[in-house]
Each structure stands twice: as structure tokens, then as C-alpha cells.
Amino acid sequence: MNSDSKILIVDDDEMIRNFVDDALSTKGFSTYTASNIQDAMRIAQREPVDLIITNGNALGLIGASQYITKLRKKIRDLARGEFPVLIQGPSGTGKEIVANAIHDCSSRKDYPIVTINCAAIPKHLEESEFFGHAKGAFTGAHRDKSGIITAADKSTLFLDEVGELSFGVQAKLLRVLENGEFLRIGKTKPRIVDIRLITATNKNLKEMVEQGSFREDLYFRLGIIITTKTLSEHKEDIPVIVKHFINKNCERDPRCPARITSEAMTCLVENHWQGNIRELKQIVNLLCHTGAGKKRISITDIQSALEQKVSDIHDDESYSLKKSKVLKEFETEYFTKLLQRYSGNISKAAKASDMHRPNLIKKLKGLGIDPEDFRINK
């Protein structure tokens, strides 16, 4: 960085601000100071800077808004305990970062956190993957398997998309929460583990309990709830987040533009980020990649990137959301054609689809398909 670079120092501690300011000023840098994110934004819009120095990246959470500040405090408070934690919030809002931060601040930090995406485990393998099995317990069990629960012993187990777990695994997980016990498939002697459970979901588990798709007893044992907010609910953090991603790209490739115009930053702040921080990160990475060789990112670059991302960005949906959409499309097409073939006759359609009649009726109702629409009046 050249001595003519402009640096913005953001910290709520005046002593720290002055110390850093003095140290950089003596090196010839042009410096600006702000005690909060609102003042920092006003300075950055008036005087585009090359670097922002802030304590706003503590615990892996980027920003200095009231929301981020309170979230850091809650993480530190929860890290001192051993009780389970449930993190709820939309996709792309940093739920895994929060889980890692709780673990890293806890007494279990010397053991690696075990992170599992529940939606990625096939239902027929769930019990074996989580609780392990004995050799010969079933066809294909050629050796003993310890399982995920055992791997997390003495550490933290983070289950992302916990709403995807089957009822059977939910019941066994409840037992682990209650007394640390579980049974491997093919074994009769319980094993004991010492784990701390952190779960996350972008679904409304309370509604799932009411609908009968999630165990009520497990829901009440998932512990303290943390809610992560959408990026639109803390837009004041966007300038700091953008500069963080730009700096990361510049570290990997010095050809990337290291600056962004105030007009371009305003455009990013005012944009609606449906995919939240994850989507913003993708756009900044794209801007840095396509802008290699440029000195700064312009408003024209932003507009081009936002147009380009329309067809790509929504592929970043979570596995479970993408799966549910594809599954619903398939089921709607399948049952529509089935009812057309049998002219709305439920009994014939149930037999052809190898489903019990009541289950088929329930499925059609859930998809919003009325068999009467397919009946032929003679």
C-alpha cells in the first residue's frame, strides 16, 4: 500500500482510534476516524478510502451495526454455557459462521467442530451415519462404523438444516441430548458421549411441529434460539463487508481493483440481496475477477454484474430448498398426468402409483390438485 493511501479507522473506543490514527499518520497515510458504522458510511461516501480498519471482523462476523454488535455479545454469552443452541434464519445470513464462533469461544475449542448438512445424508443411511453400526449388522456392513455422534465426542456437533432429519433419527438424537446415550446398529450396549449440540435451519420448526413433521419434544430441547437477519435488515454493514471481500480478492490476485467508487458502493447498499451475504460475496468476487487490471470498481461495473447474476445467483439456494422445489415440480407433473390418464379416478390412480388411497388423496390436497378437474362428464 502506498503512503498516499486513504485509511478509515472505525472503533467505538476513542483510545484505540487515536492510537491507530497516530501510528498510521506518522507513516504518511491519510487517515479518517469514526466511532460507529453510520459515521463511517458518511465518510466513505464523501471520501472513498482504500482500507477500512475496524474491530468489525471479530468472531468472523463482518460489520459494526447494532445487530452485529449484539450478535457478538450473545455468541460470547452462549459460548460460556453447555446448553444446545438453535440458529434460525434465511439462507446466506451466516448461520454456520455463528455456530463456529460459539464453538471457537467455548471450552471445547481445542477439539474440531463436527459440521453436518442433514439434507445431504440419504434417509436410508441416516441412522448408520449418525450412530454407527457393528460389522454384520445389515447387508453391506463389512466393518464397524463409529458414526458422526462418536466423532463429535468432547466437541461441538453442528447440524445444519436440522429440519430435514427423519423422525427416527430425531428420536435417537433426543436421547443423546437427554443423557448422552445412543446405540449403534447391531449393538445392545449403550455408548456415552459428551457433545454440545448446535443446530440451524431456514425453516419454521414451530410450524413443522404443528404440522407433525418435526418432533415437539426435540424442538423444545434444541435450546436457546438465535435469529440471523437478512442483509436488508442491516444494510449499514454492507460497505465494510464489501471492502472485506475486495481485500480478500486482492490478496489472492493483486490485479483485482482495490477501490470502489462512492456511486458504486451506494448501488450495492441500495440493492435488494435476496441471497443475503452469500449473494453479495458472489457479486463482489465477480466484480474483482472481471475487473482485473482496473484501479477501481465503477457504477457501470456494478450494473453489468447485477444483470449477469440474475440467471446465475439463484442457483445458490440451499440444497433442501432446491430439492423441495424440484420435487414439487416432479410430483405436480406426475400426478397431473396420472389423473389425466385415469380421468380423475382415485382408486385406479392409487393402484398405478403404488400408493394407499388415503395417502394419495392427502398428497393431491397438498399439491393443490383436485381430481374432479380430470373427470369426464358422460
In CATH, the number for domain 81-227 is 3.40.50.300
Architecture of 231-316 per CATH? Answer: Orthogonal Bundle (1.10)
Hey, which residues does 9 pair with through a beta bridge? Answer: 33, 53
Weakest-pLDDT range from 42-56, 171-185, 324-338, 363-377: 42-56
> Residue 318: pLDDT above 70?
no
Confidence of residue 333 (pLDDT cuts 50, 70, 90): confident
What is the rounded CA–CA span in Å between residue 332 and residue 262? Answer: 48
What is the rounded CA–CA span in Å between residue 100 and residue 224? Answer: 16
> Residue 341: pLDDT above 50?
yes
Confidence of residue 320 (pLDDT cuts 50, 70, 90): low
What is the chain's mean pLDDT, rounded? 87
- Most confident segment among 26-30, 32-36, 260-264: 260-264
Q: Taking the domains of the chain in order of start, what are their residue ranges? A: 81-227, 231-316, 319-374
Confidence of residue 330 (pLDDT cuts 50, 70, 90): confident
pLDDT at 238: 93
Give the sign of the dihedral formed by CA 43, CA 45, CA 50, CA 53.
Answer: positive
| Residue appearing with cell numbers 449403534 | 184
Give the sign of the dihedral formed by CA 35, CA 40, CA 46, CA 50.
Answer: positive
pLDDT at 151: 93
Confidence of residue 378 (pLDDT cuts 50, 70, 90): very low
> Residue 19: pLDDT above 80?
no
Cell of 154: 468432547
pLDDT at 313: 45
Q: What percent of the chain has pLDDT over 70?
A: 91
Give 116-142 pLDDT, tens digit per residue: 999 988 888 899 999 998 888 888 778
Confidence of residue 366 (pLDDT cuts 50, 70, 90): confident
Give 53-105 pLDDT, tens digit per residue: 765 556 888 888 899 989 999 999 999 999 999 999 999 999 999 999 999 99
DSSP 250: H
> Residue 358: pLDDT above 50?
yes
pLDDT at 13: 61
DSSP H or E segment with residue 83: none
